[in-house]
Amino acid sequence: MSLRSAPGTWIPLAVGALLFVLGCARLIHAHRLSLSDVVPTFLAVIPAWLLLFLIAYVAQHSRLALIPLFAAGAVLLLSSPICDVVLGIALMGIAAVGTLSDRRCARALANGHADASGEVKKAQGEE
């Protein structure tokens, strides 16, 4: 059984890497890379993940409600290079966690089966 990732997994990774590189380039170009920029970047990773999860949730339930969220995201991306870096990190993290989870599940299914607690149980006759 192959442990390859899903075909569309590279898209959020590529967009995240692009946002990260563009944000870093904007910070370096502005000659502002200092501790006062690094600390807010690390602190803003969790709210960026929450924003991305909110966008994904709203996308599943109400397409029209995405317009204000995308507008807020565009304003954030254009206003600060820190937001570019943070959203890039968040996108890459979400894609990586999903890929690792899929691989772990595929590996568990290949070796046996998983119960509700996530522990893999071997089939009866295998030791």
Statement: residue 103 has pLDDT above 80: no
Residue pair 91/19 in contact (Cβ under 8 Å)? The answer is yes
Residues 6+ apart with CB under 8 A from 110: 1
Residue pair 5/87 in contact (Cβ under 8 Å)? The answer is no
Per-residue pLDDT band for 79 (boundaries 50, 70, 90) equals: confident
Residue ranges per domain, the chain? Answer: 34-110
Mean pLDDT of 79-105: 81
In order of 28, 34, 45, 84, 95, the CA distances from 22 in angstroms are 10, 17, 17, 7, 19
* Whole-number pLDDT of residue 5: 59
Instruction: Compare 122 and 45 and report the one with higher pLDDT.
Output: 45
Residue range 22-69, pLDDT digits in tens: 888 888 887 767 777 778 878 888 888 888 888 778 777 777 777 887
* Whole-number pLDDT of residue 54: 82
pTM: predicted TM-score of the whole model, two decimal places? 0.64
| Cβ neighbourhood burial of 90 (10 Å; 0-12, 13-18, 19+) | buried
Backbone φ, ψ for residue 125 (5° rounding): 120, -15
